Structure 1
Amino acid sequence: MDFNVKKIVKDAGTALSRVVQLTEEKLGKCEKTELDPHFERLLERAENTKKQTEKLVRSAEAVLVPNPSNRIEDYIYEKIDKQKPPRLSNLEYMGLDMVETGTVLGAGTPYGATLVKVGQWEQKLGQTEREFIGIAGMCFTQPLKRFLDTEMRTIAREQSTLEMKRLDLDACKNRVRRARSMLGQSGEIPAEFALEQAEQDLRVAQSEFDRQVEIVKLLLEGLGSSQDEHLKCLHDFVETQARFYSQCATVAAQLRRELDNCCKSGPVLRLNSEELECLNSNAQNDSYNNVDLSRV
């Protein structure tokens, strides 16, 4: 492999210069180039947008997929770019259990038959819920996650580059100040030549810093158009949710009508313990009264 020794040495020197500059800033031994207030406000807005969007995605996914294990499983399948296996909703599982219980207890009994009927309708509700979860994910959570993975990640990368350019700029400023302070002093390298070289490096660093500021500013100002897209996603989510609840209400109303039309079972007598003891006592008294005393 052909190594560019000069480039490696230069990159190492740049990295060391950045570390020294950052350390001196932390210790308060040198000044730091400040960004203009408007740019700082854009950065703050971007950071708030990132944090709140991440929070919103987590909350929405917790509602759509309440089971944390299922959310982790879905996340893994997304990362390995594989289609997640089909999964029944909780209502569908409950419906299946109702049908099974009604069958075991006896589908010919009123309770068993009703369990089977309700279980079948609960499966319909579960299927409607599963369809809602899929549509809501496509129209709301997935666009927000793509925004975080693309635009916000690009901003973070360019912002990191800007910080590196800022460190380079401030390091060049410090070298110019040191070169100016050495004017008139003798040394192996003439102070005038060192100052000229430092000023040339400063001009290059300033140009690269200004260019990177403009790049980041354009990205930050573009967040407004992203919010317009997110607003549309929010409207789609509300529409999907309204349709889902309407479908659920329709299914539940149909189930209630079917149950009302079924033959009602006869009245069931429920006795507490005191009433039961009273009945037993009365029965015993009746038996004593009916005894044939002629045989005693």
Structure 2
Amino acid sequence: FTEEKLGQAEKTELDAHLENLLSKAECTKIWTEKIMKQTEVLLQPNPNARIEEFVYEKLDRKAPSRINNPELLGQYMIDAGTEFGPGTAYGNALIKCGETQKRIGTADRELIQTSALNFLTPLRNFIEGDYKTIAKERKLLQNKRLDLDAAKTRLKKAKAAETRAS
């Protein structure tokens, strides 16, 4: 490798199609990581909650279920409406809005769960599975290429020494 960098040894070039596939795999990995990170930010804007979820995930534990903001607002509206009285116009409106707000919160929770399961999991599987395999094979190929180049250089030096000796 050092001799290649210094220009003292020839470098065996890989097949152009293989080089193209390797560069596509690297590009796919980079964009997949960016999309995953941004999707996680979209689904959970609070960085502290994201860190907490990450820690629970790494410990193979279920994160405690937290009420989300729309559900909390809905509960406050229902509580206020009940206190004002469902018979009053304001109380009735608060109860109806609160119930709707709670449904919005439930839908939001389902969106987050579905997105994590059906969208983020396959992306994570690519990064942690398929791409790791590609990187391992690429490294193995690079080592074999270096071994081949070293053998070619030794052969060339041996032939040159044999020519000088005769």
Q: Which of 32, 35, 44 is residue 23 of structure 2 equivalent to?
A: 44
Q: Which residue of 1 aligns with 2:97?
A: 118
Q: For residues 139 and 54 of structure 2, what CA distance do their matches in structure 1 show?
A: 27
Q: For residues 97 and 162 of structure 1, what CA distance do their matches in structure 2 show?
A: 62
How do 1:1-296 and structure 2 match up within 5 A? 22-99=1-78, 102=80, 107-108=84-85, 111=90, 114-183=93-162
Asked if the contact 2:72/2:102 (under 8 Å) is kept, the reply is yes
The structural deviation recorded for 1:145 is: 0.8
Match of 1:183, SS state, is helix
The structural deviation recorded for 1:120 is: 3.3
* Greater alpha carbon shift after TM alignment, 32-41 vs 90-99: 90-99
The structural deviation recorded for 1:85 is: 1.9
Asked if the contact 1:25/1:32 (under 8 Å) is kept, the reply is yes
The structural deviation recorded for 1:126 is: 0.3
Size of the alignment, in residue pairs? 164
Q: For residues 92 and 34 of structure 2, what CA distance do their matches in structure 1 show?
A: 45
> What TM-score comes out, normalization by structure 1 length?
0.50
Q: For residues 72 and 38 of structure 1, what CA distance do their matches in structure 2 show?
A: 41
The structural deviation recorded for 1:110 is: 5.0
**Deviations 1:98-152, CA, capped at 9 Å, x for gaps:** 445x269x52465455434423331221012101211221111111111211111
Opposite residue 84 of structure 2, the aligned amino acid is A
**Deviations 1:58-94, CA, capped at 9 Å, x for gaps:** 2222222222222222222222222222122221122
Asked if the contact 1:95/1:123 (under 8 Å) is kept, the reply is yes
Q: For residues 76 and 17 of structure 2, what CA distance do their matches in structure 1 show?
A: 60
Match of 1:35, SS state, is coil
Q: Which structure would you say has the larger RCO, counting Cα contacts within 8 Å and 6 or more residues apart?
A: 2
Change beyond 3 A, Cα 1:90–1:29: farther
Q: For residues 135 and 57 of structure 1, what CA distance do their matches in structure 2 show?
A: 14
Q: For residues 29 and 184 of structure 1, what CA distance do their matches in structure 2 show?
A: 20
Asked if the contact 2:81/2:90 (under 8 Å) is kept, the reply is no
Asked if the contact 1:88/1:130 (under 8 Å) is kept, the reply is no
Q: For residues 13 and 58 of structure 2, what CA distance do their matches in structure 1 show?
A: 39
Asked if the contact 1:107/1:116 (under 8 Å) is kept, the reply is no
Q: For residues 74 and 52 of structure 1, what CA distance do their matches in structure 2 show?
A: 23
The structural deviation recorded for 1:170 is: 0.9
Q: For residues 25 and 135 of structure 2, what CA distance do their matches in structure 1 show?
A: 9
> What TM-score comes out, normalization by structure 2 length?
0.84
Bigger Rg, structure 1 or 2: 1
Asked if the contact 1:94/1:122 (under 8 Å) is kept, the reply is yes
Q: For residues 73 and 26 of structure 1, what CA distance do their matches in structure 2 show?
A: 46
Match of 1:32, SS state, is coil
